[in-house]
Structure 1
Amino acid sequence: MKVFHLLISFSLAVALWSCGSKASTDEKNTATAPEEAVVPIKLSPVSTVVRAEPVVASGLVSSAQEARLSFKIGGIINRMFVEEGQSVRKGQLLATLDLTEINAQVSQAQLANEKAERDLGRVKSLYADTAATLEQLQNATTGTNVAKQNLTIAQFNQSYAQVRATVDGTVTRKLVNAGEFIAPGTSAYLISSNRPNDWVVRVGVSDKDWARLRLGNRASITLDAYPDRTFTGTVSELAQAADPTNKLYEVEVRINPNGVKFAPGLFAKVTLVPAQSRSYTLVPVEAIVEGNGKEGFVYLLADDKKHVRKVPIQVGFLDGDKVLLTNNLVGIKDVVTGGSAYLTEESLVIVK
């Protein structure tokens, strides 16, 4: 009897162990079975707007009427009468050259002119007595005329051996000093007009932006000197050729100081608003992924409603929390915003 009970107990233990092992194996298989992740996403509507894309550039404030003053001829600078920052009046004497050499040239021209006139007088007398030929008389006449012109040139150079202010303004740069040799045409002073509303900002723009601008286009200007204020302006001049150095076209913007004190050289950031408008696709900024400059991507819900597809876009400019795209998303009503950072085109998605 004892043997029989032992056999029954052993059989029950084996049966229970087998069931436990099977359950454990099933749980392990269940735990290791892969589950495909589903990414929750949010869709935001796409709209179309018509805007004039602004042109942003930077430059320096300056007077609309500036003068780079120089001597007409070269020489040794004798005196400089004004310094940087001084106000000057139109016609005021600013600097002179040493006239020793210049006066000598005038005297030399005067003596040559006097000699030519004397020679002409003698030839005329000889010609009247038939002692000189017509050719000699013509040559003497020509020599006299040449001597007069040389005297005129010397006297003209003598009168321009000085620099005078051409406008009422302020000396912004003094480029040379007394005692230095200066070549003809080399700037000695830079003067800016001091009229209260005579201020401009000159900026360089690309050829594509230049083509969209017109005289009279509006502009807004911010200055580092006045960070809390925005000034208004208009395009007053458009260059007709690019700068050979930087290949940009210069645009002159006349700025309204509105009672604020300006000075040449203030740094300005200019936002120009062209009159030419175009259509843009408007999407939330969080829809843009893998942005790189003007290029990026957005995700769209695929036709099967379970996946997404990645579409390239071209960024025009930012407008607050919106992005204006230059390539229209034709026929697209929504873009993925929430969850876009975790997506690939193989991801399973669900719209929340």
Structure 2
Amino acid sequence: MESRRMRPWAALGVLGLIGTLSACQKPVEPVDEVRPVRTQVIAPQVVSGQAELTGVVRARIESPLSFRIAGKLVERSVDAGSRVAAGQALARLDPADASLSATAAAAALSAARTQLAQAKLDHQRATDLLAKNFVSKAEVDRSQTALNAAQDMLRQAEAQAKLAGNQAAYSVLHSDAAGVVTQVSAEPGQVLAAGQPVLVLARDGAREVEVAVPENLRGTLKVGQALQVKLWAVNGKTFSGTVRELAPAADASSRTFPARVTLADADGAVQLGMSASVLLPTAGKSEAAHLPLTALLDQNGQKKLWRYDPASHKVGSIPVKVVSVTDDGFLADGVAPGTVVVTAGVHLLREGQTVRLIASGVAAAKPGV
């Protein structure tokens, strides 16, 4: 039994040998990953001050259509996106109540006419009897008063009958002008109050771009000012526009000033709801470098670029100011000319990381390389 057990001095020798071997091994140093990147040399160019406001194409006149009387909606013949003509029937209320009111008004009118005819006969009879001294003058005066009252009641009944007839016609909602239905807010079976919107009609005619102007650009706009409007859905085509409306007070929630820009040369390609950019000139000119969007790094709301050091082949972050965003990139300000910045793979880099250029040499680097 004793021969199978390891003696204490032997166990200590084994542990000492393991410790000696561990001390002889060198620590493994982590290998810094070298990432390939593309670079571009900053070459500023003079650009005119210009801002772009994003807006939506709307109709000059957008009318919420509603019934003039209350009732139950039994039919709606159009949907959102339907094109309608002037005078076209769009929706209909249950006509039962309006028909009963028209019938009652017609009966009241007939009764008023009968009463007027009787009052005329009574007055004529009283006048004839007065000539023969069979009645007093007071009786003739009473008949004259009754005749005047009957005439007034007839005029009232005629007005009530006309009103009831109009209300019966109001049970059908017609389009005031040609246009397109942009919104529907009532369905058949719904009981509507008088004046409750049923749908919104965008009338044919002038087209406008609705934009929200920030506070810092409010002073650069004025009513009647000519602007350029770009529509992205029409291959970026530019149209001429004029500021027609500019709110004098900011919106309470967005703190922006609503404005409307009328398109002077809008054609059939301009459709409602298209996205548009209103090009707003600003004061002065500045020097900015054009870079692809892949070069921009956003860290906690701060815009940065990765600067490449040709001597150490390492990168470091530098702050940058975005002047504006273009079709194929952005204009950057605040970076010294000749600085080499990374234009691809910026989200995979870290401060002081060693990189490898995909292009052959920094001196030969060109924009986008």
RMSD: 4.5
Q: Quote the Cα distance in structure 2 between the aligned partners of 1:91 and 1:143.
A: 35
Tell me what 1:120 maps to.
116
Shift of 1:193: 4.1
Corresponding residue for 1:76? 72
Q: 2:227 aligns with which of 218, 239, 260?
A: 218
In the alignment, structure 1 residue 148 sits paired with structure 2 residue 139: no
Supply the distance in 2 between the matched residues of 1:137 and 1:126 (Cα, whole angstroms). 8
Query: How far has the Cα of 1:178 moved from its partner?
Result: 2.1
Q: Take 1:245 and 1:103, find their aligned partners in 2: how far apart are those partners? A: 47
Corresponding residue SS for 1:123: helix
Which residue in the other structure is 2:278 paired with?
271
> Structure 1 pair 270/91, CA: closer, same or farther in 2 (3 Å)?
same
User: CA 1:221–1:321 in 2, change beyond 3 Å: closer, same or farther?
Assistant: closer
What does 1:194-273 correspond to in 2, within 5 Å? 198-206=206-214, 209-214=217-222, 215-223=224-232, 225=233, 229-239=236-246, 241-242=248-249, 246=254, 248-255=256-263, 261-266=269-274, 268-273=275-280
- Letter of the structure 2 residue corresponding to residue 69 of structure 1: L
Distance change >3 Å, CA 112–CA 245, structure 1 → 2: farther
Query: Could you tell me which residue of structure 2 aligns to residue 3 of structure 1?
Result: none
Paired residues for 1:275-286 under 5 Å: 278-279=283-284
How far apart are 1:237 and its partner, in Å? Answer: 1.5
Instruction: Give how far 1:234 is off.
Output: 0.6
1:223-266 deviations in whole A, cap 9, x for unaligned? 3x46x524323125114554566564432223478767444323
CA distance 1:139–1:323, shift in 2 (3 Å): farther
- List gaps (5 residues or longer) in structure 1: 1-48, 286-291, 294-314, 325-334, 339-352
2:346 maps to none
Shift of 1:185: 1.7
How many residues align? The count is 258
Match of 2:184 among 163, 166, 174: 174
Cα displacement string for residues 268-312 of structure 1 (whole angstroms, at most 9, x for unaligned residues): 2433436xx745676889xxxxxx99xxxxxxxxxxxxxxxxxxx
Match for 1:58 among 54, 75, 90?
Answer: 54
Please list the CA deviations of residues 173-192 of structure 1 after superposition, one character each: whole Å capped at 9, or x if unmatched.
33322222122122222233
Q: CA deviation at 1:102?
A: 0.2
Structure 1 residue 100, shift from structure 2 partner:
0.6
CA separation of 1:162/1:138 partners in 2, compared to 1, >3 Å: closer, same or farther? same
Separation in 1, partners of 2:143, 2:256: 65
Evaluate the alpha carbon distance shift between residue 336 and residue 263 of structure 1 in structure 2; reply closer, same or farther with a 3 A threshold. closer
Percent sequence identity over matched residues?
Answer: 20
Equivalent of 2:86 in 60, 77, 90: 90
Counterparts of 1:316 and 1:124 in 2: how far apart (Å)? 90
> 246-255 vs 100-109, which deviates more?
246-255
Output the TM-score relative to the length of structure 2. Answer: 0.54
Query: Secondary structure at 2:261's aligned position in 1?
Result: strand
